[in-house]
Amino acid sequence: MGKAVTMTRKPLGTREIETIHGLKAKLDLPVTKIALAVGRNKTTIHSAPRRRFKPQKRRRHPSLSRAEVNLLVRTIKAMARKAKALYEVTLAMAMKRAKLKCGEQCARAALKKRNIKFRRLRSKPILTKQDVKERFAFAKKYRKKPRSFWLPCRPEGDRIATGSRPECWTARGDAPRS
């Protein structure tokens, strides 16, 4: 005789129900083989289709509730009123004031649903006084040069310039800018 298979007595999990439905629908296996594959009794396999089967959506749950989003919106509006366009109100500042413990991306997505758009602040290098002096010296040196002095900057071997700026101009001796 064959080996005795030990069957478990705990309720079916969603993963097991998905597996049973898959084996029945896609592979059209008999109930005995499905019972051996899953490690369950045949009666359990027969009762599985009667259970309501909704495949789980594999995604994270939204981490902000409606009340938290409402709080964030009220906080942003209050901070904007108080700022009176004298300084910037960032999303990080509003989240800190509202004492929310979620990521900025999550908060930005929740606000987008309410038609409130927040984007990340652009990070630009700060121009030092030395940089300004060097730029001014360059401008004074090259300001009276004719247009023929400047060459179009294009990648080597490529005749068509791509990108948002079709041409960029550099001095003859300089290396092309990328």
pLDDT tens digits, 33-49:
888 888 888 888 877 66
Average pLDDT over residues 68-92: 91
**For residue 9, pLDDT beyond 70:** no
> Cα dist. 8→30, 35, 140 in Å?
20, 11, 86
Are the CB atoms for 75 and 99 separated by under 8 Å? no
**Does residue 176 register a pLDDT over 80?**
no
pLDDT computed for residue 3 by the predictor: 64
Helix (H, G, I), strand (E, B) or coil at 165: coil
Residue whose tokens read 């749950």: 61
The number of CA neighbours under 13 Å toward the Cβ of 94 is 26
What percentage of the chain exceeds 70 in pLDDT?
71
- Whole-number pLDDT of residue 61: 60
pTM comes to 0.40
The three-class DSSP label of residue 168 is: strand
Q: What is the DSSP letter of 159?
A: S
Q: Facing residues of 168 across strands?
A: 153
DSSP 121-134: PPP-PPPPHHHHHH
* CA pair distance 38, 50, nearest whole angstrom: 17
Does residue 74 register a pLDDT over 50? yes
Tokens for 99?
A: 């004492």
Amino acid at 74: R
Q: Cα separation of 16 and 51, whole Å? A: 12
At 160, is the secondary structure helix, strand, or coil?
coil
